[in-house]
Amino acid sequence: MSSYVFKLPDLGEGVVEGEIVAWHVQVGDLVHEDQSLVDVMTDKATVTIPSVVSGRVIRMHGDVGEMVVVGADLIRFEVDIQGHEMAATDGLTGEQPIRMLHPAHASSSSDGSPAMAVPQISNVAATVGAMADNPSPPSRPLASPAVRRRAREKGVDLALVAGTGRGSRVTDADIENYLRVGGNAHGRTGRIKRTGTTEIHLAGVRRRIAEKMSISKRHIPHFSYTEQVDITELSELRAFLNEHRTSDEPRLTYLPFVMLSLVKAFVKLPEINSLYDEEREVVTRYEAVHLGIATQTDRGLYVPVVRHVEAMDLREAARELRRVTQATRHNTIRREELTGSTFTITNLGQVGGLAATPIINHPEVGILGIHKATDRPVVRNGQIAIRYVVNLSASFDHRVIDGMVGVSLIQRLKDYLEHPALIFLE
């Protein structure tokens, strides 16, 4: 037997370090060549790094969330230099498996190489590999992050649940059994005081989101504005167009109408379609309209960009919107499609709500939030009528956008959406 130290390889030109976002192995595992070892996020991509040898993991370096420089030790293997297969016995070392607080599973490049030319952002996985049997009870219940999350959602203290998995690991079935017998896995009923806590280390995508939001909120003095919009006529137009669309035409949502309305509004209010460089104190106004579309995925929040909306008609906007959002959710979006927006839309309609104060996507100067459309009683011509209504919530950078300018944008959008024929007039 001999040992082999696997070091963080060169991940691409200019990359000197990376953040560990997930381990795919643990101490004691038998690993074969090309098996996935670890996900590392750099400022350019998240990559899955495969093993270059076959052997048993005897030591691991670095926790999830830690930065590791290129060339630093990652894993020490025990390898059979004579090529004989090693027995899969437990307890080879006295080390405990590394604890993963925010595991993720990332795709590698199409050719399987660790240095990806096209980035693939990590997918959040729901499981962790089984830990080695341990005859002594652990101080912290053994459970995967997915099980811990489910326990928190259901208000279950894992310390009170008898684990039936390998090494007394708590499983989903154990939690369900605990709840089925009245909240106690041993059959006692009644309310149980909960004292447990779970630490979730911010790593990978979640850390990047936290950093981005902190910059936006810390540097930008926001002001927000909410307006109610009657989209009854727009709803009828959308239904008509969908009913008469051809098989090769995309089904329309309300968002493409909003996108084209913004294009028209920016012609009159070009200062909102801008980026602000606070260090140079320069505002750059864009003739092109590149709309960021806030998209929730199981990996976190991303903002893919629909470029040159000013050159699109309604169907083209719908088609490109669908393409970039689906690519984002399916983890096939290209890195360059996640940058370069000049204004952002966030669709809040899935969860409803009357108003919000969306955070601006720095260094943009405005963001539009769209709430859930519902039937509401409104007064029209002195009579109460049921109309289809949606609320718009917008935030603006008050260093660049005066209050009247921000309000004017929303009022123009209101005109276009309440009288949709205006969207298509030159």
Domains, the chain? 2-125 (2.40.50.100), 133-202 (4.10.320.10), 220-424 (3.30.559.10)
Per-residue pLDDT tens over the stretch 149-207: 788 888 888 888 888 876 677 888 888 888 877 665 444 445 667 788 888 778 777 88
- Rounded distance, CA 110 to CA 233, Å? 47
Q: What is the mean pLDDT of the chain?
A: 82
Tokens of 345: 């839309």
Can you give the pLDDT at residue 183?
A: 64
398 tagged catalytic: yes
Catalytic residue among 105, 398, 415, 419: 398
Where residue 71 falls (left for φ over 0; alpha for ψ -120 to 50; beta otherwise) is left
Per-residue pLDDT tens over the stretch 213-260: 999 999 999 999 999 999 999 999 999 999 999 999 999 999 999 999
pTM over 0.75: no
Residue among 221, 216, 263 nearest 403 (CA): 221
The mean per-residue pLDDT over the stretch 320-346 comes to 94
Can you give the pLDDT at residue 166?
A: 67
Per-residue pLDDT tens over the stretch 28-72: 999 998 898 998 887 656 788 999 999 999 999 988 888 888 899
Q: Which amino acid is at 53?
A: V
61 tagged catalytic: no
Catalytic residue among 32, 80, 402, 419: 402
Pairing verdict, β 305-306 and 291-297:
antiparallel
Tokens of 138: 């652990």
